[in-house]
Structure 1
Amino acid sequence: MSPRPNYLSPTSTVPVPQEVDPVPRRPPTPSIIVPPSSTGVGTPTSSRPSSYSSSNGGPPSPVTARAPRHTRATGSSTIGGSSTTLEKFLSKTRPTHLPPKPRAEDLKHQRDWDEMMRRSRAADDARAERERARAREREMAAEEKMAIWEREIVPDWKRVLRPGADNERLRRLWWEGVPGNFRGRLWAAAIGNGLALSKETYKTCSTRAKRALAARTFPQDTLSEIENDVQNTLPNLHIFNAEYGPMHQDLKDLLCAWVVSRSDEGLGYVRGASNIAAMFILNMPLDEAFLSMRNLLERHCLRSFYGGEGSDDDVSRIFDTLLADGMPKVYFNFKQHQISPSLYLPDWVTPLFLNHLPFDMTVRIWDVIILEGDSFLFRVAIGVLGILESRLFFPDRKELLEVLRGENKAALDVARRTGISVDLSARYEQYGMSEKSLWERIHEQEEWWRESTWGRLITRELPDI
């Protein structure tokens, strides 16, 4: 019996079981020896055919090759600009991870898809054509209206106020907005010069103001108030900015001259006057802007807001009477919470709505205020309350005042979440107040508004104006 081998001996070898290959091996390929070239440099190793011969003369270890993984194509495959044969059999109407459709069903769905796309393109073309047609209609209507302005209104603007169906047509056209190239001229004509100021008045008052500023006798508190007001005037336009605004100095000069012209009456500066001056500067030269501003602010109720005769209580009683006629529920709720018009009306009327409504909307309101007078101020105010009506029944007085001031936190949060830009110079945009909605409210007042009632209220509450 042969001795048992000691596998723990250093000289012993562990028998390795013979590897069984289920795939019969190919006979080794004989090595190919390439003779050296004449230059003595043989073929590079990387280009020589590999040899199966090893150092011990045996074949190399077998390498098991993986089977190719078949996947479905997910995109268009083209060779030389033409579709491959495979693409013809791939479905374009079924995701690749789902079982394939029957060929007939796939073709039907493809035809349906092509038809849907054709109809969609046709609908887009028709929609674009309708937009172009509407644009052409608007252009033609604008040209026709411009011809009416040039032919009938500009030569004799007062016919707009005369009775008659034809003149009423012109009045409605004015209410739609005065063209920008006629605005300055028609504003100045409609405001008039009831104070009988000469054309040199602005130059005289401006010279006095500059002399007082140079001598440091101009009231410093008034000057600071003017500068702060100018800095906050129409911030989105950037033309009155103190650092780079091209019209900043013109606005400041006009306001200083306005203060000097009122000093003889013992009246000073009123916060918000910069908005009035800015609007006039944008539409007419400085001297005409000064005359128009002086005369406009001498009208009835506006004078009471700018320090003249009359008081806030008188104006509040007038507005309360109109509010009770037009919106009795809001009037009653305000009375319950002790919210007087003096708490919100001056913020609207003093800048003529420029701090609460978008600029373009306010310009159109100015067109009608200048034509119709102070009564339209109150109609716009009631129209604003009409749009805010659903928000004016909060049980909390503080929240009601925040809504009226355009500072309601809940409305601001909703506006930001919905992507509505909140403009500090147009605070009521967050409430969804648009030009269309406001004018709809104003036109609805035709059912109950009476100019005779307005005249009677003015005579009763402001008899000295």
Structure 2
Amino acid sequence: MNLSINPFRKSTKAANNTDTVPVVDPSWGSLSQTPPGSPGRSLQQIAEERQKKGQTHPPTSSNSWKNRKPGLTYASSTTALILENRPPHLPAKNPEEQQKHVLEYQEMIRGAKKKEVRDHKKQLKELEVRLRHEDGVQMHLQTWQDEILPNWETMKNNKKARDLWWQGIPPSVRGRVWMLAIGNELNITPELFEIFLLRARDRIKYISDLDSDGESEEAQAGSLEDSVDVIKLDIARTFPNLCIFQKGGPYYDYLHSVLGAYACYRPDVGYVQGMSFIAAVFLLYLSPPQAFHCFANLLNKSCQLAFFRLDQQVMHAYFATYEEYFQENMPRLYEHFQEQKLTPDIYIIDWMYTLYIKSMPLDVACVILDVFFRDGEEFLFRTALGILRHYEEVLLQLDFIQIAQFLSKLPSQLSSEDLFQSIEEIDMHNQKRFKEVLAGHLAQALTTNS
């Protein structure tokens, strides 16, 4: 936008003359520029002319005022209303008040211009960062394609590969890297996916037939396979802004297929709310059989199984481990959470169920997944502490409800660079490693409940 033209001003002329404003012909459109050669008139003259015409009320787009005063023109902006006269049933402005309003209006315009300049500079800076990031991704892509992927077993733990991994995997090779990093301990094949996909469709038809025949819920409660029937309800809440996953979108059936097949493949787990976000992200980079491969193997990890099966003992051991590192790294914030009685289960469970995908910008969540698939469950809890470190000063000012709401949906301005800088500041190897601390809490939990 050209900063020299202000859509809110009544005139660009007579900048130093504060006691006159130009008369605007409505035919000059929304920019409200003064026709060449139009003389300026004093505020008193304009007020008298408007009173003779019966147009003493500020022009407005309100239907009620248009009905009362037909023929009134619209104000060019709500900011400019300060220059208008009062309605006839109110005392008229005196010259001092009119002059004051002119000065206030000019101050508003100056403020608007300054804000516009600031916003423009911010946009240019963000563009520069984005272009620099894209250039870096392109350079990294060549390294991934030419050096790392062809020599995966020897390069995956190489320092160069790990450094690039920490910065985020290029989107064009992300799916391939995820499949290699997650592995296939369950020996999932495309044929196995098709088998359980057919079973899921049969199960949905069976449940639909029971509902139409009026069968009781007890008749349907044989296994968690029946959770396939609620998948479609949860898909509608998955990335509602990405229409591709909504009913009628190209990925709706893919997402339904992966989740339905998994519910039948693991009837001991079934479908749990939150799984749809994980499966949806896999589908952004992989075909449905490949997404099922990654999804099933990922949810077979001990941490994910514990949360999705609601294994209370194991979950409490993870929470105790997390709190131990929380207290070591951020004692002041830890004490604040204790005072507010904010326990980890209030915000950690949602993060574990959706792997942060629901709570932060999608591009940042994908970089979190990149490193999580490499480093394992420890990185999930290190990320949680990194989030708290990043927003520590903000969280210290909030109460219980405000903290819970804030952590459930992090600011959209969060960038992966800023978050990973905070994650790097978290020390989880000061005395004992994560697995050792977790093992100790697991043993204590089993002893307590035996």
Question: Do the aligned residues in 2 keep the contact of 1:255 with 1:274 (CA within 8 Å)?
Answer: yes
Does 2:177 correspond to 1:186?
yes
1:156 aligns with 2:138: no
Q: Does 1:232 align with 2:237?
A: yes
Deviation for aligned residue 1:428: 1.1
Distance 1:152 1:199 in 2: 28
2:362 to 359, 362, 372: 359
The one of 112, 115, 139 equivalent to 1:144 is: 139
Rounded to whole Å, the distance in 2 between the matches of 1:225 and 1:141 is 43
Query: Based on CA coordinates, which of the two structures has the bigger radius of gyration?
Result: 1
Say whether 1:205 aligns with 2:200: no
| Amino acid aligned to 1:324 | Q
Native 8 Å contact 1:369 1:377 kept in 2: yes
Q: Of 255, 258, 263, which aligns to 2:259? A: 255
Partners of 1:323 and 1:131 in 2: CA distance: 33
Query: 1:389 Cα shift?
Result: 1.4
Select the structure that is richer in helix: 2
In structure 2, how many angstroms separate the alpha carbons of the residues matched to 1:139 and 1:301? Answer: 34
In 2: Cα distance, 1:340 partner to 1:136 partner: 41
Instruction: Calculate the aligned-residue CA RMSD, in Å.
Output: 3.3
How many angstroms apart in 2 are the aligned matches of 1:172 and 1:442? Answer: 15
Normalised to the residue count of structure 1, the TM-score between the two structures is 0.60
1:246-285 aligned at under 5 Å gives the runs: 246-263=250-267, 266-285=268-287
Amino acid paired to 1:301:
C
Secondary structure of the residue aligned to 1:226 is helix
Matches of 2:126 and 2:398 in 1, distance apart?
A: 47
Superposed, 1:210-359 pairs within 5 Å as: 210-216=201-207, 222-242=227-247, 244-263=248-267, 266-307=268-309, 309=311, 310-359=313-362
Q: Which moved more, 1:301-310 or 1:216-225?
A: 216-225
Matched, 1:368 2:350: no
Q: Counterpart of 1:147 in structure 2: which amino acid? A: Q
2:446 aligned with 1:455, yes or no? no
- Distance change in 2, residues 1:345/1:151 (3 Å): same
Q: CA deviation at 1:378?
A: 0.7
Moved more, 191-200 or 358-367: 191-200
1:379 is aligned to: 382
- Superposition deviation, residue 281 in structure 1: 1.2
Structure 1 residue 440: Cα displacement = 1.3
Residue 434 of structure 1 corresponds to: 415
- Whether the aligned pair in 2 keeps the contact of 1:394 and 1:400 (CA below 8 Å) is no
Greater alpha carbon shift after TM alignment, 284-293 vs 136-145? 136-145
Structure 1 position 311, deviation (Å): 3.5
Taking structure 1 as reference, are residues 224 and 394 closer, same or farther at Cα in structure 2, changes over 3 Å only? Answer: farther
How far residue 134 of structure 1 moved from its aligned partner, in angstroms, is 9.1
Instruction: Supply the distance in 2 between the matched residues of 1:214 and 1:221 (Cα, whole angstroms).
Output: 11
Aligned residue type for 2:316: D
Preserved contact between residue 228 and residue 271 of structure 2 (Cα < 8 Å): no
Unmatched runs of 5 consecutive residues or more in structure 1: 1-72, 75-95, 98-129, 406-426
Measure, in 1, the Cα distance between the counterparts of 2:345 and 2:128.
49
Opposite residue 165 of structure 2, the aligned amino acid is W
Residues of 2 paired with 1:401 and 1:187: CA distance? 31
8 Å Cα contact 1:387-1:433 kept in structure 2: no
Distance in 2 separating the partners of 1:131 and 1:322 = 34
* Residue type of the alignment partner of 2:380: L
Which amino acid in structure 2 is aligned with residue 436 of structure 1? Answer: E
Deviation at 1:369, TM superposition (A): 0.7
Give the Cα–Cα distance (whole angstroms) in 2 for the partners of residues 288 and 268 of structure 1. 19
Taking the aligned partners of 1:307 and 1:173, their CA distance within structure 2 comes to 34
Query: Aligned in 2, Cα 1:308/1:171: closer, same or farther, shift over 3 Å?
Result: same
> Could you tell me whether the CA contact under 8 Å between 1:251 and 1:277 is conserved in 2?
yes
Name the stretch that deviates more: 172-181 or 193-202. Answer: 193-202
Is the contact between residue 165 and residue 371 of structure 2 (CA under 8 Å) also seen in structure 1? yes
Instruction: Give the distance between the partners of 1:277 and 1:451, measured in 2 at CA.
Output: 36
Q: In structure 1, how many angstroms separate the alpha carbons of the residues matched to 2:126 and 2:341?
A: 51
Q: Residues 153 and 223 from structure 1, CA distance in 2 versus in 1: closer, same or farther, beyond 3 angstroms?
A: same
